[in-house]
Amino acid sequence: MNRIVAVENLSESVVKLEIEAPRIAQKRKAGHFVIVKLGLKGERIPLTISSADTEKGTITLIIQKVGVTSHKIAVLNIGDEVTDVVGPLGLATHIEKIGTVLCAGGGVGTAPLLPIVEAMHKAGNRVITVLAARSKDLIILEKEMRAFSDEVIIMTDDGSLGKQGLVTHGMEEVILREKVDKAITIGPAIMMKFSSMLTKKYNIPTEASLNAIMVDGTGMCGACRVTVGGSTKFVCVDGPEFNAHEVNFDELLSRLGGFKDEEYKAYQTYLEGLKKETV
């Protein structure tokens, strides 16, 4: 069950894992996620399904080492098993032919964006994709994105790849240049907040895929609640995608930071433990 069949390091901290999960591969659509748990004492975390191969019966997950759990998963090898994988969860992305779609991916948020770019392209839309990250090393899936995008614009904070600047600079360039019918933004909450502010200024309907803290992922616990249009929604069952212009990103940012200190401490302890092992 859930055996890892392929591993690819996309950058120093970002890993692509292909995992056997035939039923999930059959059912998943763009926008769906899984909950993953590693080991008896592991934590349950949500990860978006980046792609799937129905013939091989595998799903692809892309994960960035940011804490204990993601680190443990990111260092798994071919043949290892992920103890628990459940899904596909959440509502699938609404895909339709609408015209020109501007897709913005920030950092590892590029991974969940990929299936949407692919589906929007296949639905007959003109797809322009903006990928942004701190530096060249953190730009992932460029080749895959090019396969399904009419144009890919790369933005890095330090200018080490593409143009120097933020994701919003790249997006605004497109918006000023041509008519954009819809925008999709996925990445760190702060990036989605600012890209959403930008598209609001230009009145472009925008979807954001939110990355809340979850436990069960089936609506049972409410850890992932978020305010959208003034009312509380659960990211796991009402999302993960919402009208970005109605999302209270400040609340999302605050809730994402809820366990920040504990997580930081746990990760440092874990990394020290790793160092000792190698010494």
Residues in the chain: 279
Contact 49/87 with Cβ under 8 angstroms?
Answer: yes
Q: Smallest gap, in angstroms, from Cβ of residue 234 to another protein?
A: 8
In the region spanning residues 244 to 263, those forming contacts with another protein, defined by CB under 8 A, are 251, 254-255, 257-259, 262-263
57 touches another protein (CB under 8 A):
no
221 touches another protein (CB under 8 A):
yes
Q: Which of 7, 76, 98, 223 binds another protein (CB under 8 A)?
A: 223
Number of residues that bind another protein (CB under 8 A): 41
Question: Encoding tokens for residue 157?
Answer: 């904070």
Q: Please say whether the dihedral angle defined by the alpha carbons of residues 168, 174, 175 and 176, taken in this order, is positive or negative.
A: positive
Q: Which of 7, 43, 136, 144 binds another protein (CB under 8 A)?
A: 43
7 touches another protein (CB under 8 A):
no
* Strand 100-106, strand 182-186: pairing: parallel
73, containing H or E segment: helix 68-74
219 touches another protein (CB under 8 A):
yes
Where does this chain touch another protein (CB under 8 A) — which range of 58-66, 130-138, 153-161, 216-224? Answer: 216-224
Separation CA 10–CA 247 (nearest Å): 30
- With respect to another protein, which residue has the nearer C-beta, 33 or 148? 33
Name every residue whose Cβ is closer than 8 Å to that of residue 271 and which is 6 or more positions away in sequence: 71
Whose CA is closest to 164, among 187, 134, 144?
A: 134
The label of the residue with tokens 């990929």 reads: 114
Note the residues at the interface with another protein (CB under 8 A).
23-24, 27, 37, 41-44, 68-69, 83-89, 215-216, 218-223, 225-227, 231-232, 234, 237, 251, 254-255, 257-259, 262-263, 266
